[in-house]
């Protein structure tokens, strides 16, 4: 696994604020590793600049706190919400890679290309 760490993929400010860990099972770590190795790392390499994880794995309690869907792929470690310094360009890179069949994924959502009222830059959801 290159470019990303389990700490990045499981970090959650909401979990920390609510005083609990967001630890994953071995099965979830396997899913996160596959996500990085087959999707995120190739995207990062092609993009050529850092990509940041907004949200990766969520334990059930965290998913409930943030209002996630009961069947969210975050619970399985199969999705990452990512951002970069230029989300539109990042999305174009991802789409090009998909058209060239260099990566496959279920969903690609450009969530926002601006900062929200808290200064966050939500970015791209990739699952």
The pLDDT tens digits of the residues spanning 68-119 come to 999 999 999 999 988 898 888 998 999 999 999 999 888 777 765 555 555 5
Q: Rounded mean pLDDT of 22-35?
A: 94
Categorize the per-residue pLDDT at 6 as very low, low, confident or very high, splitting at 50, 70 and 90. Answer: very high
Angle at 116 between CA 115 and CA 122, to 5 degrees: 70
User: Could you tell me which residues come within 8 angstroms of residue 75 by beta carbon, excluding any fewer than 6 positions away?
Assistant: 57, 58, 59, 60, 63, 68
Q: Quote the pLDDT of residue 7.
A: 93
Q: Rounded mean pLDDT of 54-79?
A: 92
Categorize the per-residue pLDDT at 126 as very low, low, confident or very high, splitting at 50, 70 and 90. Answer: low
The pTM is what? 0.83
Domain ranges for the chain: 6-126
* CA pair distance 124, 127, nearest whole angstrom: 10
80-83/108-112 β-pairing: unpaired
Is 3.30.1380.10 the CATH number for 6-126? yes
Computed over every residue of the chain, the mean pLDDT equals 86
Q: Quote the pLDDT of residue 54.
A: 87
Categorize the per-residue pLDDT at 127 as very low, low, confident or very high, splitting at 50, 70 and 90. Answer: very low
Q: Which tokens go with 114? A: 């601006």
Give the residue, 74 or 126, on which the prediction is more confident: 74
* CA pair distance 60, 16, nearest whole angstrom: 14
């Amino acid at each position: 696994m290159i470019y990303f760490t389990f700490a990045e993929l499981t970090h959650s400010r909401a979990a920390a604020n609510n005083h609990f860990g967001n630890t994953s099972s071995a099965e979830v770590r396997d899913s996160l590793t596959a996500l990085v190795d087959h999707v995120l790392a190739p995207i990062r390499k092609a993009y050529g600049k850092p990509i940041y994880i907004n949200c990766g794995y969520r334990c059930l309690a965290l998913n409930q706190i943030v209002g996630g869907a009961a069947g969210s792929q975050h619970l399985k470690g199969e999705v990452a919400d990512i951002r970069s310094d230029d989300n539109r360009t990042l999305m174009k890179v991802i789409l090009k890679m998909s058209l060239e069949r260099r990566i496959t994924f279920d969903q690609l959502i450009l969530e926002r290309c601006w900062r929200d009222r808290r200064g966050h830059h939500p970015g791209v959801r990739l699952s």
